[in-house]
């Protein structure tokens, strides 16, 4: 064992070959990883990076772990994703777009796709389709939630992945983290918030900055959307305001039709 090799409890840790890819996205999640300068080198030393356009110039199709950011919005992205899946032993959906469709899936609310293209692109031809998360096309082994992802959480997830340890997500909602951070409830400040039903793990990132949660991490394990509807109404927010937030990132899609029909 050389001095440069990583060890865990005295056991050498192998650095798996990892590749980062982007589909329809802003690539903000990949940038989040690079923004954490204080721990960036330690983080990158856990992996052998063979493909990461935002960080390195090298390119290789020989990888074990694929981190994929972005949703499916064009037909040509489907064979590309399937090719990535075929090569990767582990495929990680990184960010809300990959996990749920993200803000891209907002166009799915319109039944006339041609009308949407006309409104956005005018007379310029563009190929597009209804937006899908990665799991609609291929098997996803691991989800990393958020828009953007929380870099500290990602580092913990990848450390556990490399070490072969279990990866557990909080079962409680963002409200628990908000209370632990001693924040004033945003409902009391006149701000709508999905914190009571959204999966925790972000350390109440937005509420801690006085911004109501928009549910980018999807539903908590025991999300009670009907109770949230009552809370919203009690604080003077309309059902439409709640639905706007629930539909923003796509994570609450299974609740939407039920709520609209109530």
Q: What is the mean pLDDT of the chain?
A: 90
What predicted TM-score, i.e. pTM, was given to this entire model? Answer: 0.90
Residue 6: what pLDDT?
65
Residue 217: what pLDDT?
96
Beta bridge mates, 71 = 24
* 59-94 pLDDT per residue, tens: 889 999 999 999 999 999 999 999 999 999 999 999
Residue intervals of the chain classified under CATH 3.40.50.700 are 7-163
Architecture of domain 7-163: 3-Layer(aba) Sandwich (3.40)
* 219-253 pLDDT per residue, tens: 999 899 999 999 999 999 999 999 999 999 999 99
* 6-42 pLDDT per residue, tens: 665 555 678 899 999 999 999 999 988 888 777 777 7
Nearest residue to 97 via CA among 114, 86, 81: 81
- Among 54-58, 121-125, 149-153, 177-181, the range of highest mean pLDDT: 177-181
Chain CA centroid to CA 10, Å: 34
- Among 11-20, 40-49, 130-139, 145-154, the range of highest mean pLDDT: 130-139
Residue 1: what pLDDT?
44
Lowest mean pLDDT, pick from 43-57, 173-187, 235-249: 43-57
């Amino acid at each position: 064992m050389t001095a440069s090799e990583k060890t865990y409890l005295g056991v050498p840790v192998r650095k798996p070959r990892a590749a980062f890819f982007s589909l329809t996205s802003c690539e903000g999640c990949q940038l989040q990883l690079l923004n954490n300068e204080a721990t960036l080198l330690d983080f990158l030393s856990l992996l052998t990076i063979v493909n990461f356009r935002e960080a390195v110039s090298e390119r290789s199709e020989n990888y074990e772990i694929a981190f994929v950011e972005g949703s499916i919005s064009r037909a040509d992205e489907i064979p590309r994703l399937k090719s990535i899946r075929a090569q990767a032993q582990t495929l990680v959906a990184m960010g809300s777009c990959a996990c749920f469709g993200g803000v891209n899936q907002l166009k799915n609310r319109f039944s006339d796709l041609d009308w949407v293209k006309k409104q956005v692109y005018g007379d310029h031809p563009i190929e597009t389709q209804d937006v899908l998360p990665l799991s609609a096309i291929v098997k996803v082994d691991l989800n990393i939630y958020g828009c953007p992802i929380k870099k500290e959480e990602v580092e913990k997830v990848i450390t556990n992945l490399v070490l072969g340890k279990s990866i557990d997500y909080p079962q409680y909602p963002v409200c628990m983290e908000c209370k632990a951070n001693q924040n004033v409830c945003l409902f009391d400040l006149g701000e709508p918030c999905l914190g009571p039903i959204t999966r925790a793990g972000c350390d109440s990132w937005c509420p801690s900055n006085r911004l109501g949660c928009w549910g980018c991490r999807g539903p908590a394990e025991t999300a009670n959307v009907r109770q949230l509807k009552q809370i919203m109404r009690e604080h003077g927010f309309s059902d439409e305001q709640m639905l706007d937030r629930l539909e923003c990132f796509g994570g609450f899609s299974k609740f939407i039709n039920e709520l609209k029909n109530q």
